[in-house]
Amino acid sequence: MTSLLNFVYTYISDIARSASLFNTLSTFHTSKSSSKLSHNFTNNNEIHTSAARTSTLLSTSTGFQLNPINITSYRLASTNSTWNESSLPDKIKSLDEYKALYDLSINDPERFWKMAAERLDWYRFPTKIKNTEFDYRTDRGVDIKWYEDGILNVCYNCLDRHIDHDSSASKQVAVVFEPDTPTETRHHVTYGELLRDVKKFANVLKKHGVKKGDRVTVYMPMVVDACVALLACARIGAIHSVVFGGFSASNVAERISDCDSTVVITSDFGLRGGKCSPLKSKIDQALKMKQCSNVRTVLVFERNYGNNADVKDACSDQRGTLEWKEGRDFWAHKEMETVNENCPPEKMNAEDPLFILYTSGSTGKPKGIVHTTGGYLTYTSLTFKYIFDYNPGDVYMCTADIGWITGHSYIIYGPLSNRATTVVFEGVPTYPDVSRFWNVVDKHQVNIFYTAPTAIRSLMAHDDKYVTKTSRQSLRILGSVGEPINSEAWKWYHSVVGDSRCPIIDTWWQTETGGVMITPIANAWELEPSSATLPFFGIKTQLFDKSTKKPLTPPNTGELCIQDSWPGQARSLYRNHERFVDVYFKQYPGYYFTGDGCEIKKNGYHCITGRVDDVLVISGHNIGTAEVEAALNEHAGVSESAVVGYPDKKKNQGMYCFVVLKDDTKESEELRKDLIKSVRNTIGAHVNPDVIHFTPDLPKTRSGKIMRRILRKIVEPDTSNLGDISTLTDPSIVKELIKKSPRTKHS
């Protein structure tokens, strides 16, 4: 802790020296947690800051942006300032500074991304920065290389180098572990301790024959050992493939065999919301399947309660039943006792793969997204630092699971490469009650909090008192990722959770993009509810018309593409470059196709409208389901909704709305009519929901995304083949929906 404080003080005095701001230091010390930045909503939902900002030192020194943004077209009007420095700034303080650097990043990407790479430590600094081709019609075809002759190690950059540069880093907390049961004794892990465990575990992997380039499947709960597993792979150059702990045995088997892993890292159990999840048994089941016959080693971390005799062990019934295959299964902690602590990091080429992460595709066969070493780390490291305005000493918490890209990029690699303190949260937002997030924020004095709209919507369905009874004074920045955040949820997050004082950083990106692409930069410019605002450095967006395939000039709405490569992007699909090109580069030759719709407004702000395949065509009108959902969610009684189409001879498609009501709202015919009316009022009289189906819940994937594929099948109706529903949080909801659907009854 002392070192943390030292860090903060050193930092403050550095800033103070450069900005001659000694007189504001006391304000900073005392007001960091109590300062107010008040936002007023105007009629058009724009937010203007009305009070002088005191919550961060730099804003105090520069003054906050009080004027509306002066961008008249999508191409940001150039500024008078150009970037003449030889390195990147520590933070982005204003829209002008952003514009100067943005111009540079687009006009001279080599120079910009060279400066970004200088933030990392390299064994050999690259002489070639960018070498990329997006056009599949060229002889070269789609081919993406960044820093191709550079040599570095990701684990070294996340751990060793902080200690090598400043020995006090070894005592700084790297990971704060918040267990599922709040009363379980938590342990904080310092950079020194994490490095020691990673080195040992890396030696365990080596002992079991894992070499550079080998694939290792990781199937772990949200515990510190998961970070150890990933960083150990990175240290020795093994390619990790994390499979989310909620996936079924057959899903894991499919992913183990697709990338041909011979080693699996797991845990005996996992805990979520007080329930025990038998991870090791699921691996046992998976490995009995023929396609996994190549797996020769399973390394098992132990999840126990240590000295917490007072905590009920939710796994106690199952502990005695663990299967153990001698010669294949090994306890990680025992193996770690047999190896030494010395494990030099492997020297990796910048384009060597770092990991594979499977994401769902439209065909049902998962896509093994491949990310590489140098570009990925440069990008996640820079985005983390700028977007969240991370200051030394800040405590940062992201509620994602390491099974998803957000967990990879913004729990582990982005934060640790910046010497941040990152919270690993094992639990769920609603256990033991719906105050959990905010209690954790208070307990660990979290300054930056990053979560998903689905969590926000589920929490706002309950009484505000579950939030307001907590302090949350430590919070400075709130982030959102994963889906469009409707303006009601945005406003609730901003005003109730953030006490109208924390900017909402709505970050748009994808597994394929590696890191955040369109986003506000904390405190640099004004926000609008439901807008991810502006592209990050090096990201040039382009809209296209879906039917004519012609480029559109903003302000406009269309299909979102990216014009040129950025270092964090996926290089390919594992052993399937052809599918990579087909899915992302064939629709609009020369562009990366995101699959998302987007509106770019007059001021250049981007609003993601949802997946483009989520568009209904009703009586000749294109209607984004996300738009209808937003309208339904605006209604005071609605917690959440999902809209899908079904075939209709007259109108082409009919509109079917699944609606989850808030705790205190009862379904009624009157409410049904009211909802239809408000959709018509909000979007237009051409938008008429045909069916309103009230339901207590929606079928969701473990990462919180609504599984529309299943909803579509229910309303078509074609319920004979629903496909795999084992990845849902609660598969039983599907039966309920089928039973109650007027379309299944009458079919």
State the residues that interact with ligand 6R9 by CB under 6 A: 359, 404-406, 480-484, 506-511, 532, 594-596, 608, 611
CB of 305 to ligand 6R9, least distance (A): 32
Separation of CA 328 from chain center: 34
Q: Which residues pair with 560 in a beta bridge?
A: 543
Q: Which residue is nearest to ligand 6R9 (CB)?
A: 511
Across the beta sheet with 652-661, the strand order is 638-648, 652-661, 691-694
CB of 595 to ligand 6R9, least distance (A): 6
Half-sphere exposure (CA, 13 Å, Cβ side) for 425? Answer: 26
Going by their DSSP bridges, the two strands 534-535 and 518-519 should be labelled as antiparallel
CB of 155 to ligand 6R9, least distance (A): 23
CB of 526 to ligand 6R9, least distance (A): 18
Distance CA 256, CA 216 (A): 8
Q: Is the dihedral of CA 224, 267, 450, 440 positive or negative?
A: negative
Is the Cβ of residue 320 or residue 364 nearer to ligand 6R9 in the bound state? 364
Q: Indicate the DSSP class of residue 168.
A: G
CB of 598 to ligand 6R9, least distance (A): 9
Q: Which residues pair with 624 in a beta bridge?
A: 615
Nearest CA-CA partner of 527 in 562, 501, 553: 501
CB of 519 to ligand 6R9, least distance (A): 8
Is the Cβ of residue 129 or residue 456 nearer to ligand 6R9 in the bound state? 456
CB of 272 to ligand 6R9, least distance (A): 19
CB of 448 to ligand 6R9, least distance (A): 16
Separation of CA 373 from chain center: 19
Is the Cβ of residue 4 or residue 400 nearer to ligand 6R9 in the bound state? 400
Q: Please check whether residue 119 is in contact with residue 379, taking contact to mean a CB–CB distance below 8 angstroms.
A: no
Is the Cβ of residue 218 or residue 481 nearer to ligand 6R9 in the bound state? 481
Which residue's entry shows tokens 């998961």? Answer: 226
Distance CA 519, CA 606 (A): 9
Going by their DSSP bridges, the two strands 448-451 and 395-398 should be labelled as parallel
Nearest CA-CA partner of 331 in 266, 380, 274, 275: 266
Helix-then-strand count for the chain, H and E: 26, 35
Both tokens assigned to 43: 């009629």
Q: Please check whether residue 463 is in contact with residue 639, taking contact to mean a CB–CB distance below 8 angstroms.
A: no
Both tokens assigned to 570: 């996926």
Is the Cβ of residue 163 or residue 485 nearer to ligand 6R9 in the bound state? 485
User: Quick one: 432 exposed, middle or buried, by C-beta within 10 A (0-12, 13-18, 19+)?
Assistant: middle
CB of 561 to ligand 6R9, least distance (A): 12
Distance CA 465, CA 446 (A): 20
CB of 630 to ligand 6R9, least distance (A): 11
CB of 61 to ligand 6R9, least distance (A): 30
| Angle, CA of 304, 441 and 275, to the nearest 5° | 35
Residue 191: strand, helix, or coil = helix
What is the number of residues in the chain?
747
Is the Cβ of residue 165 or residue 586 nearer to ligand 6R9 in the bound state? 586
Is the Cβ of residue 221 or residue 515 nearer to ligand 6R9 in the bound state? 515
Both tokens assigned to 628: 């209808």
Is the Cβ of residue 98 or residue 404 nearer to ligand 6R9 in the bound state? 404
Q: Please check whether residue 550 is in contact with residue 544, taking contact to mean a CB–CB distance below 8 angstroms.
A: yes
Separation of CA 638 from chain center: 26
Is the Cβ of residue 117 or residue 478 nearer to ligand 6R9 in the bound state? 478
CB of 567 to ligand 6R9, least distance (A): 17
CB of 9 to ligand 6R9, least distance (A): 35
Is the Cβ of residue 419 or residue 611 nearer to ligand 6R9 in the bound state? 611
Give the CA-trace dihedral at 716, 620, 640, 45, to 10 degrees: 170
Is the Cβ of residue 234 or residue 387 nearer to ligand 6R9 in the bound state? 387
CB of 383 to ligand 6R9, least distance (A): 12
CB of 701 to ligand 6R9, least distance (A): 9
Is the Cβ of residue 59 or residue 487 nearer to ligand 6R9 in the bound state? 487
CB of 360 to ligand 6R9, least distance (A): 9
Helix axes 732-740, 708-715, angle to 10 degrees: 30
Q: Is the dihedral of CA 502, 505, 506, 512 positive or negative?
A: negative
Both tokens assigned to 561: 């593409």
Is the Cβ of residue 391 or residue 399 nearer to ligand 6R9 in the bound state? 399
Across the beta sheet with 551-552, the strand order is 551-552, 541-544, 556-562, 592-600, 606-611
CB of 105 to ligand 6R9, least distance (A): 21
Is the Cβ of residue 361 or residue 647 nearer to ligand 6R9 in the bound state? 361
Residues whose CB falls within 8 Å of the CB of residue 635, separated by 6 or more in sequence, listed in order: 674, 675, 678
Distance CA 522, CA 216 (A): 36
Residues whose CB falls within 8 Å of the CB of residue 44, separated by 6 or more in sequence, listed in order: none
Going by their DSSP bridges, the two strands 504-506 and 477-480 should be labelled as parallel
